[in-house]
A and B are shown apart, each in its own frame.
Chain A
Amino acid sequence: MRHTLTVLVANSPGVLYRVVGLFSRRGFNIDSLAVGQTENVNVSRMTIVVEGDALVLEQVTKQLRKLIDVIKVSNITAEEFVARELVLAKVTANPTQRGEIMQIADIFRARIVDLGRRTLTLECTGDEAKIKAFEESLRPYGIKELVRTGKIALLRGSKYTNVNNIKEEAM
């Protein structure tokens, strides 16, 4: 089963390395990993999608918590949450095909962000299923290059996974 973990980490050098190293060393599979600064400049948030049964998940969570730079680990899989991924795709688009591709972009509420002589670059956000469908629709035209961010997620409503009052970290 796939699980979505939200991991708050101190914004310190080497923290990404430690987290990734932990996964590879202990043989846990990362499906996707997205990381960036949060509302607090001292804290980064990693959203990690990991494959495994309940036992694996328990170990992943506990081992992550052992890292000194990890502030909080939440498994939000069973909660109500909003998840998004961003994809950029550069597709072959001869002038005659542009119209069709722009229609597809409309359907997926994607945007054209660049235009080359024979290519179009599209940007699309959405959950995994939508991104997959978007990719499939573009495939017949020839996807030259594609890049995705990995999933990011937040709990719905007034629930939080962050920690309040994280002090200015001296370290």
Chain B
Amino acid sequence: MEVIAAQALIQALEQENVSIVFGYPGGSILPVYDALVSSALKHVLVRHEQGAVFAANGYARATGRVGVCIATSGPGATNLVTGIADAYMDSVPLVIFTGQVPTTQVGTDAFQEVDITGITAPITKHNYLVKDHRKLLQTIKNAFYIAATGRPGPVLIDLPQDMLKTKISFRYPKSASLQSYKPVLEGHFGKINEAARLINKSRRPVIYAGGGILISQACEELKQLAEVISAPVTNTFRGLSCFSGKHPLFLGMLGLHGTRYANLAVNECDLLIALGVRFDDRVTGKVATFAPEAKIIHVDIDPAEIGKNVRIQVPIVGDVKVVLQALLPLLKKTDRAAWLQRIEELKSLYPLFYHQENVLKPQFVLEELYRLTDGEALIATDVGQHQMWTAQYYRFKKPGAIISSGGLGAMGFGLPAAIGAQLGLPEEKVILVTGDGSFQMTMSELATMVEQKLPLKIFILNNQSLGMVRQLQEFYYDKRYFGVNFEFVPDFVILAKAYGIPGYNVSTPDELTRRLPDILNTPGPVLVNCLIDPRENVLPMAL
């Protein structure tokens, strides 16, 4: 059947089982919007393109499916850049469609023309400029395949307007056509044996588990591994929720703002089992002194991550779930009582703590949220102090229950990502924990939330400043505070009212405890402006 390319594109999305797209229209992409008119696809109109890409990102993180967003050429495309970079850093599968000026005008600095494939080359897994309509469908097939397989990531397809209006016959390819792209799933058998030998011999093993566990859905295998070999588990930020925060073997997050006992355990371990991680600088600090006594086993699907930052004794390239399934039968059940006793000792010597006072402490907000949701909620965060307090004090139980910008650390991520997550998982209770700085970056998406009738519970940990940056100035710039204290912060309760959302100010611990059950049980959205102690710091702060 002959259709115009833009219609074929929409049909291709249906073939890929896409049910929702996030977007913002504009001149060049109009053929696609015209095709959306008669499609069953749900289109979510955001208020800024960054909202579209962050929402697709939140959707993909929450559901494990490919997130799709659409924007027009020029500024529409450049507004996506931060969200694409975020997906690239955190290995989130996205397919991004951008409009482009007609092929005849490409390269002439036409109105709303930018070289978006050039701009996004370093922050996409791959990208395409489709000038030839005959290549459109195969390109879409390839894009979804590339985005979702191996180490996932964003793939951008740039669509010149005239190409979108060309007639093509719709025959959607059954498979991707790529010459050399073949992710390796199975680990090398010899290396897996070697890993098993090291593990069985080890007296003080620590498991260092990251986002790869969540992506490959290896949470159950991770739990088995930890229990069989009696090894404590620490998480990277991106790995949080892959191992129950309530499990006695859980050490919490490691690294810069990780628990003291996780970092000490890594320091003392004789074997570090690194699973789906990338030895990020926020984890390792000085590479030379990281896990000084340990041999390291590193399992990752991306060969380039192995040996990139740290020397590895046993490298295993493969899907971490497949590798763990091969590894588990080779392991001896061991109790390692002395080591676990030492871990308990570290936990009791150096617990996470804060001083509860009459003012509202941010850590208390997170503890209360945890207590009342029993760790079952989906928590989206922005970036900054509140994000680290969430990582420390909310003990995630459900895999994938934290939606947050890790590698890129992009403020403004929270609200749109929460919108995407809630649309992807309508049954879940989604809570946004944000700060007054981050929230002001993308609060225009409140309109999207209301339009989509989403019952998000928004907690602004309001310290009327950019707390994390202020903390850095306190520690590293002799308290020369500059550019971090807001002289004006909007009244968020009145703002919520403008959007027709109930809003509350909360400024004491009692008030929070009293109000929280009702707030969490409200059927619709609620905004809670938590006036927290502005002097509070994220501690510990290692390194």
Residue positions of A touching B, CB distance < 8 A: 10, 13-14, 17-18, 21-22, 25, 55, 58-59, 62-63, 65-72, 166-167, 169-171
A19: shortest Cβ distance to chain B, in Å? 10
Closest 9 CB pairs of A and B: A62-B304, A68-B126, A71-B180, A170-B177, A62-B303, A71-B179, A170-B138, A63-B304, A25-B122
Q: Does B171 contact A (CB under 8 A)?
A: no
Q: Does B117 contact A (CB under 8 A)?
A: yes
Given contacts A21-B122, A171-B135, whether A68 and B181 have CB atoms under 8 Å apart is: yes
Q: Can you spell out 8 A-B residue pairs with CB atoms less than 8 angstroms apart?
A: A25-B122, A55-B307, A62-B303, A65-B303, A65-B304, A66-B302, A169-B179, A171-B135
Whether the Cβ atoms of B179 and A166 lie closer than 8 Å is yes
Whether the Cβ atoms of B118 and A17 lie closer than 8 Å is yes
Give CA–CA (A63, B146) in the complex, Å: 16
Chain B residues near A55 (CB, 8 Å)?
307
Whether the Cβ atoms of B304 and A59 lie closer than 8 Å is yes
Q: Does B178 contact A (CB under 8 A)?
A: yes
Q: Give the most central of A14, A18, A68, A72: most B CB within 10 Å.
A: A68
Whether the Cβ atoms of B129 and A13 lie closer than 8 Å is yes
Give CA–CA (A62, B179) in the complex, Å: 17
Give CA–CA (A25, B125) in the complex, Å: 15
B134: shortest Cβ distance to chain A, in Å? 9
Given contacts A68-B178, A71-B180, A166-B179, whether A18 and B307 have CB atoms under 8 Å apart is: no
Q: How many residues of B contact A (CB 8 A)?
A: 22
Besides A63-B304, A68-B125, A70-B180, 18 other A-B contacts (C-beta < 8 A): A14-B118, A14-B129, A17-B121, A18-B121, A21-B121, A22-B122, A59-B307, A66-B304, A67-B126, A68-B126, A69-B126, A71-B180, A166-B179, A169-B179, A170-B135, A171-B135, A171-B139, A171-B178
Q: Does B515 contact A (CB under 8 A)?
A: no
Q: Does B308 contact A (CB under 8 A)?
A: yes
Give CA–CA (A10, B181) in the complex, Å: 12
Contact residues, B290-316 vs A (CB, 8 A): 302-304, 307-308
Q: Does B505 contact A (CB under 8 A)?
A: no
Give CA–CA (A170, B139) in the complex, Å: 9
Chain B residues near A65 (CB, 8 Å)?
303-304
Whether the Cβ atoms of B179 and A14 lie closer than 8 Å is no
Give CA–CA (A17, B127) in the complex, Å: 12
A14: shortest Cβ distance to chain B, in Å? 6
A67: shortest Cβ distance to chain B, in Å? 8
Chain B residues near A171 (CB, 8 Å)?
135, 138-139, 142, 177-178
B41: shortest Cβ distance to chain A, in Å? 25
A20: shortest Cβ distance to chain B, in Å? 10
Q: Give the most central of B126, B129, B138, B302: most A CB within 10 Å.
A: B126
Chain B residues near A14 (CB, 8 Å)?
117-118, 121, 129
